Amino acid sequence: MELGVDISMNKKQRNRRENDISLLRGLCLLVHVRPNEILKRSLLGGVIIVMLFSLYLVQESAFAQTGYYSPQIVAQQGTNSHQLIEGTAVSSDGSVRATITSTPIEADQSLALQIKFTDSNGNLIPYENYGIRAQQMEGNGVLIISNETAVAVTGTDIQVTDPLQNVSPVNFQIQLYGAGPPDISSAEWKGPNEILSITLGAKYSARIAVSDAPKGTNQVVTIPYGAYDPNYNTAAPMWYEPSVITIGVNQNVTWINQDKEVHTVTSGHSVGRAGLLGNGVGQPDGLFDSGTIPIGGSWTQKFTRSGTFEYFCEIHPWMQGYVIVQPAALVPTDAFGNQIMKFPVVRFTPDRAYELDLDWEPHYITTGQQIIFIYQIYDNIQNEAIPAHYIFTITQGGQQLYHIEESTQFGGAYQYFTFSNPGPVTFDFSDIAHSGQDVQFTTIVKPGNGTNSDMNMPMVEPARNSDVNFWLMPLFFVPAAVAVAAVYTIKHVRRKKYVGYRPVAAKTDTTLKKSPI
Assess whether 297 and 430 both reside in one domain. yes
Read off the CATH number of the domain in which 394 is found. 2.60.40.420
What was the pLDDT predicted at 510?
46
Please tell me the distance from the alpha carbon of residue 328 to that of residue 90, in angstroms, as a whole number: 48
One domain, residues 192 and 87:
yes
pLDDT of residue 276: 67
Q: Who has greater pLDDT, 162 or 451?
A: 162
For 110-139, what is the HEC assignment? CCEEEEEEECCCCCECCCEEEEEEEEECCC
The answer to whether residue 466 scores a pLDDT higher than 60 is no
Among 152, 175, 200, identify where a domain stops: 200
Q: Quick one: pLDDT band at residue 71, thresholds 50, 70, 90?
A: very low
User: Does residue 265 lie within any of the structural domains?
Assistant: yes
Q: Among residues 283, 216, 221, 272, which one has the least CA distance to residue 246?
A: 221
Domain count of the fold of the chain: 3
Summarize pLDDT for 267-322 with one digit per residue, the tens. 999 888 776 666 667 889 999 999 999 888 889 999 999 899 999 999 888 889 99
With respect to residue 375, please indicate whether it lies within any of the assigned structural domains.
Answer: yes
Same domain? 285 vs 377: yes
Mean pLDDT of the chain: 76
Q: What is the DSSP string of 128-196?
A: EEEEEEEEETTSTT-EEEEEEEEEETTSEEEEEPPPPSSSS-EEEEEEEEEE--TTS-GGG-BS---EE
Q: How far apart are CA 324 and CA 67, in angstroms?
A: 32
pLDDT digits (tens, 9 = 90+) for 396-408: 999 999 999 988 8
What is the C-alpha separation between 454 and 491, in angstroms, rounded?
A: 55
Q: Which of 51-55, 137-141, 164-168, 475-479 has the highest mean pLDDT?
A: 164-168
Same domain, 110 and 171: yes
| pLDDT of 46 higher than 60 | yes
CB neighbourhood size of 509 (10 A): 11
Residues 193 and 270 in one domain: no
With beta carbons less than 8 A apart as the criterion, state whether 261 and 292 touch: no
Are 99 and 193 contained in the same domain? yes
> Does residue 365 fall inside a structural domain?
yes
Residue type, 279: N
pLDDT exceeds cutoff 70 at 84: yes
Mean pLDDT value of segment 369-373: 89
For residue 139, the model assigns a pLDDT of 64
Q: Does residue 121 sit within a domain?
A: yes
Task: For the full predicted model, state whether its pTM sits above 0.95.
Answer: no
Does the residue 64 lie in any domain?
no
Name which residue leads in pLDDT, 120 or 82: 120
Task: Provide the pLDDT for residue 481.
Answer: 62
Of 153, 98, 87, 96, the C-alpha closest to 121 is: 96
Same domain, 240 and 95: no
The whole domain housing 180 covers 79-200
Does residue 54 sit in the same domain as residue 24? yes
Averaged pLDDT for residues 110-134: 94
Q: Do residues 284 and 323 both lie within one domain?
A: yes
Q: What is the 3-state secondary structure (H, E, C) of 390-443?
A: EEEEEEECCEEEEEEEEECECCEEEEEEECCCCEEEEEEEECHHHCCCCEEEEE
Whether the upstream peptide bond of residue 242 has omega within 30° of 0, thus cis, is yes
- Is pLDDT of 489 > 80? no
State which of 200, 220, 245 marks the end of a domain: 200
If asked whether residues 195 and 258 sit together in one domain, one would say no
* Termini Cα distance of the chain: 14
Share of the chain above pLDDT 90, in %: 31
Residues 21 and 113 in one domain: no
